[in-house]
Chains A and B, each alone.
Chain A
Amino acid sequence: MLTRHPALLVVAGWTLFNGLLFALLAGYGEGAVAMWLWAGSLALLAGATAAVLWSVRRGPEQHRRYRLVTGGAAAVLPAAAGAGLLGLATVYGWWMAALAVPVLALAALLALAGT
């Protein structure tokens, strides 16, 4: 599986290499905070490896045919604006989060409509 899918080999190998260094750090007796932190990162990398595994089982390693994005990207601006309002809500109070709700709802509607 790994040799037939070099993309998977790269991500899985890199995750394993991180795991090896993590184990070495554990051997040095590093504190719990650092170990939990790196374990969290390893979980993310394991998730990325799983995503690549899922993808290589479904599609070819290289492409002759490409499926392109068919919808527009109008939802992106309100989504970013909504995220910005949520960010500002942490500064100026949670009432700003209420402003973000309709903006994010608009983004969701546009995304669903594919415009």
Chain B
Amino acid sequence: MTLTAPGRDRDRGRAPGGRPPSRYPSGRRLLLSTDHKRIGLLVLGTSLALLFLLGVLALLMRAQLARPESGFLDSAVYNQFFTIHGSGMIYLVMTPFAIGLGVYLVPLQVGAPNIALPRTTLLGYWLYATGAVIMLAGFATPHGAHAAGWFSYPPLADGRYSPGPGSDMWVAGVFLSTAGVILMGWAVLWTALRKRAEGMTMLRMPLFSWSMVATCLMVIGAFPALLAALVLLGIGRADPSVFDSNLWIIGYQHLFWFYGHPVVYVMFFPYLAAVGEVLATFARRPFFGFRLTVLSLLVFAGLSMSVWGHHMFTTGQATNDYYSLTSIALLVPAGIEYFAMLGTILGGALVFRPPMLFALAFIPQFLIGGLTGIMVGTPVIDYQAHDSYFVVAHLHYVLFAGSAFGLFAAFYFWFPKVTGAMLDDRLSHVHFWLLVAGTNLTFLPMFFLGLQGMSRRIVSYAEFDGFGTLNLLASIGAGLLAVAMLVFVYNVWTSLRWPRPAGDDPWQGQTLEWATSSPPPRLNYTPEHPLPPITSYAPLYDLRRTEDGRAH
């Protein structure tokens, strides 16, 4: 690999003999670096910080719902909390974290020294961060933050029914954040398509990089629809008479859900692929059914662009037959991916380290989210379950029991590579078991609450409704989740404060990033840590097998 003209880029590697580089970059070097790893860390760090902040809002909501007729939170405040919790988790946490993983990992996995369009990527981060600040600053305005739900349908979200600058700030903040994510997604896609090292053919890209290709195709195809929806909402807030016409009310829903369904897969594919890489590494074998899984990811992503209308079944103004057909067709690629994951486990010699635990828990938990998604993708069931806690349970099984477990599998897996330090295994196990217990205790009762008729977004319920016990269980589960997250933070903090060196490849990884140092150097691969021969989608596994063969 030859590199030309790093030139005036001020944060490149230091000259030999100079002061050794600090372990953690700071100030200008971090905030304005064009190194994809630092931009990736900015995105991942910001979204994790927001995960905790928005998680606190959820905890306060669960405190309100723990008992019937509770007055812990005012209804206006409750509305703001569920809106900012829901929209923040989607626009500011799960989606950016998924793209941030791509920013950090894809150049390493395809053997490139940096991401394509690094300054555009950095601009994407800063737009995302600026949008997050503007969105959350709504709490400081006289009417408080936006309170019309994460999809903010008009006319509820227009200037008549949601007055005040908090809602306008929400529109501006979501617009900026989404624009930033689109820029970052485009850079990740271009890196995978056009910046691969010699020998890295498309079919030798690891599963995670392939998932980012599928993910970023959805980002560039679907996310601009959200920008258009927000422009329409902004116009409608300035002149609410726009939404006197049914055309624009339904038009807004189409625009929103054209983004709103693919974004679920943007928040799923990277985590699914991370789980796939973890399963293969800790099963000590290459990923089973790799090519078919890659194809299924692309088909899955393509189909996901065609199912948005299933969120609009109850409007009576969508072509239900078509959207139901394509929604159920999603089972085919999803089934292939599940068989591939199970095939990887069944043929392997499993090692139960913390990333593997999260990956294994992902499989059944996401299955619950996925199958209930197929249920509500069927009009007859959706008419019954729409706007009930059944839907809340379904989406949390997808995004928390599924994607967040994939997020943690990825975090535990790549933390040693990113920081050069190992996390504490004992604390990781405590985090895992608390998280499993808390997740299922929180979200499983919500299915039954939905079936019993509890509506989503309600601030309180009467004692005679009979929702009390299940809500109390869900709130206890939320408390467990909070404790789990505190254990996680403590583990990360102590591991960074008193690091135990991880070495370059603590897990016997299979993909290129494990061939370089931990943390990787500025340009990813150096003469001391050169690119190994790229023989397949698991080149380090091949190398290890060849060396074992020679030894025998």
* A contact set with B: CB distance below 8 Å: 6-7, 10-11, 13-14, 17-18, 21-22, 24-25, 28-31, 33-34, 37-38, 40-41, 44-45, 48, 52, 55-56, 59, 61-77, 79-81, 83-84, 87-88, 90-92, 114-115
- B319/A29 in contact, CB under 8 A: yes
- Which residues of A lie under 8 Å from residue B203 when comparing CB positions? 6
Instruction: Looking at the assembled complex, report how far the CB atom of A52 sits from the nearest CB atom of chain B, in whole angstroms.
Output: 6
Residue ID in chain B nearest A55 by CB atoms: B194
- Which residues of A lie under 8 Å from residue B7 when comparing CB positions? 68, 70-71
- Which residues of A lie under 8 Å from residue B199 when comparing CB positions? 62
Instruction: Looking at the assembled complex, report how far the CB atom of B260 sits from the nearest CB atom of chain A, in whole angstroms.
Output: 12
Which B residues, 163 to 184, have Cβ-Cβ distances below 8 Å to chain A?
Answer: 165, 168-169, 171-173, 175-176, 179
- B134/A66 in contact, CB under 8 A: no
- Which residues of B lie under 8 Å from residue A30 when comparing CB positions? 309, 318-319, 322
Contact of B134 among A10, A11, A48, A87 (CB under 8 A): A87
Could you write out 24 A-B pairs with CB less than 8 Å apart?
A10-B298, A14-B302, A17-B298, A17-B299, A18-B302, A21-B306, A25-B306, A41-B222, A45-B221, A48-B221, A62-B198, A62-B199, A62-B200, A68-B6, A70-B6, A71-B8, A72-B8, A76-B32, A76-B126, A77-B32, A80-B130, A81-B130, A84-B133, A91-B168
In the bound complex, how far is the Cα of B353 from the Cα of A59, in angstroms? 43
- Which residues of A lie under 8 Å from residue B222 when comparing CB positions? 41
In the bound complex, how far is the Cα of B319 from the Cα of A90, in angstroms? 35
In the bound complex, how far is the Cα of B28 from the Cα of A74, in angstroms? 9
B311 at the interface (CB under 8 A from A): no
- Which residues of A lie under 8 Å from residue B148 when comparing CB positions? none
- B119/A76 in contact, CB under 8 A: yes
Interface of A is mostly: helix
- Which residues of A lie under 8 Å from residue B298 when comparing CB positions? 10, 13-14, 17
B15 at the interface (CB under 8 A from A): no
- B202/A6 in contact, CB under 8 A: yes
Contact of A62 among B31, B126, B197, B305 (CB under 8 A): B197
- The interface size of chain B toward A, counting residues with CB under 8 Å, comes to 78
- B9/A69 in contact, CB under 8 A: yes
- A84/B217 in contact, CB under 8 A: no
- B247/A33 in contact, CB under 8 A: yes
In the bound complex, how far is the Cα of B195 from the Cα of A7, in angstroms? 11
Query: Inter-chain contact count A-B, CB under 8 Å?
Result: 198
- Which residues of A lie under 8 Å from residue B197 when comparing CB positions? 62-64
- Which residues of B lie under 8 Å from residue A80 when comparing CB positions? 123, 126-127, 129-130
Q: A61-B196, A67-B5 are in contact. List 16 more A-B contacts (CB 8 A).
A: A18-B302, A21-B305, A30-B322, A41-B258, A44-B220, A45-B217, A62-B201, A64-B197, A65-B4, A68-B4, A68-B5, A70-B8, A77-B126, A79-B126, A80-B127, A87-B173
- A73/B134 in contact, CB under 8 A: no
Instruction: Looking at the assembled complex, report how far the CB atom of B27 sits from the nearest CB atom of chain A, in whole angstroms.
Output: 13
Contact of A10 among B8, B202, B221, B234 (CB under 8 A): B202
B328 at the interface (CB under 8 A from A): no
In the bound complex, how far is the Cα of B199 from the Cα of A2, in angstroms? 19
- Which residues of A lie under 8 Å from residue B32 when comparing CB positions? 72-74, 76-77
B118 at the interface (CB under 8 A from A): yes
- Which residues of A lie under 8 Å from residue B88 when comparing CB positions? none
Instruction: Looking at the assembled complex, report how far the CB atom of B38 sits from the nearest CB atom of chain A, in whole angstroms.
Output: 11
Instruction: Looking at the assembled complex, report how far the CB atom of A99 sits from the nearest CB atom of chain B, in whole angstroms.
Output: 14
Residue ID in chain A nearest B165 by CB atoms: A91
- A64/B2 in contact, CB under 8 A: yes
- Which residues of A lie under 8 Å from residue B301 when comparing CB positions? 14
B112 at the interface (CB under 8 A from A): yes
- Which residues of B lie under 8 Å from residue A40 when comparing CB positions? 224-225
In the bound complex, how far is the Cα of B33 from the Cα of A74, in angstroms? 9
- Which residues of B lie under 8 Å from residue A25 when comparing CB positions? 306, 319, 322
B74 at the interface (CB under 8 A from A): no
Residue ID in chain A nearest B33 by CB atoms: A73
